Structure 1
Amino acid sequence: MSVDTGAFSSVEAERGVEVSVEDDEDAYLGLKQVNRYLPTSSTTQTTDSVDYGPTDTVQVKNQFSDPLDLTVDVESTGGVVDDEDISVDDVPKGGNKLGVGDEAFVAVTCDTNGDGRLTLSLEGTAGGAVVEATRQFRVSCLDVRFNGDNGNAVVKGEFTNLPVTVVFKNDTEVDRTISSKSNNGSGTTESNGGAADPDERAVLHPRSGGEGGNDAIERVVIGGTVFERS
């Protein structure tokens, strides 16, 4: 979900009449955060979603009835994300046209775990309309690793009450809620009575009854990203 910072967002016709923009996802210039939770470079393995890659965070879509000549300026505004970690698909760079219904993605490469913020400033023209928008988005960079000896999965980052889906080796799955400052070993917020973990991590445990006595965790699904045991 994008964070509206109160910046200008409008569509202006040739005669200077402003037309109000709908919610970002349904506007002429569609802006949608497809993924907030992103893998760090240390993460074991991730898989692409059907519609976007694991590092893609914001979708920009032309929902005008004409091609959109679009320029995108994006920068880091805090946290663990630096300017050089942010990239935009080639389509809108330098004011190139985005065809009717076409989309481009803003991607973030995370070097370390933690939270970050980025600001998008977009300007474009389509037919007789001019569009401008500035939006800020938050991302959470997560380091997810799988222990080969005991079937655990460890999620490192800054998060509280984060919903995850855990998929075991036999393909059964359970939903859990985790926080990064628990140290009780359960990885669930329901029993966070342990001391704070200085490493800011949550440990997800396998279930008993699998091979070798444990049913190992094979995948952890967080937001739109699937983290897999390699």
Structure 2
Amino acid sequence: MSSRGTGITLAVGVVAGIIGYMLWQMTIGFNTAADDLPTILQNSASGATALQLVAVLVGVGLSVHLAGLWGTRGTASGTYESLGILLITVAIISWVIGISDILATAELGKSFVAALPGASAGDPAATALVGRILVTEGATQASGNASGDIGGLLAGLGWISMGLAYRGSDFKGALSFLPLGWLAIVAGTLLVVSILVITSTVGREVASQVNGICFLLITLWSISVGVKLATNSD
């Protein structure tokens, strides 16, 4: 891939991904508790179209970003760079696979909303259906959280490795005042702390907000590197 192509895919892909992530949070509700299954289902049903867009933005965006990241190989050559790109690759694969849980929740939400009036009226069949949907959604959420946590941990370790690689490199991004090495290390460390500490001690909702900050830092890193590569002649 050309330097210009690498830069464009690196920057545009991650921007699409972060937009998809924010849209997902907005659709579910920033203040919605992770175990508030009825609210998650109802919000997913009303925002089913938005969640389909989320799947496209995150799935395609992260895949394009990954292509750009692989194109940067050699920019900060060394073991840390290779390890970082590999770990981030596995993380993105995990996240993209997890998109199916978002779409499944949207479909379950439609069935849940349709069955609620009957359940409220005391219809045994509708009540039983609502119960089954809640159980299924609980399993779906558990699966999504697990894949998200694994992806987040691997991505965190990957970005720490990338940061260590770029600390030893003379390469500077388009935003030359930003230290690429430290920016990646901070983003990666926050991700690891969020997954291993904040999720279990403070709550998944707070961890999700911290993850959002991490993704913004990664987006800033990718734009800085991407614009620099895109404006360089091959």
TM-score (norm 2): 0.24
Structure ranking higher in helix proportion: 2
TM-score (norm 1): 0.24
Structure ranking higher in strand proportion: 1
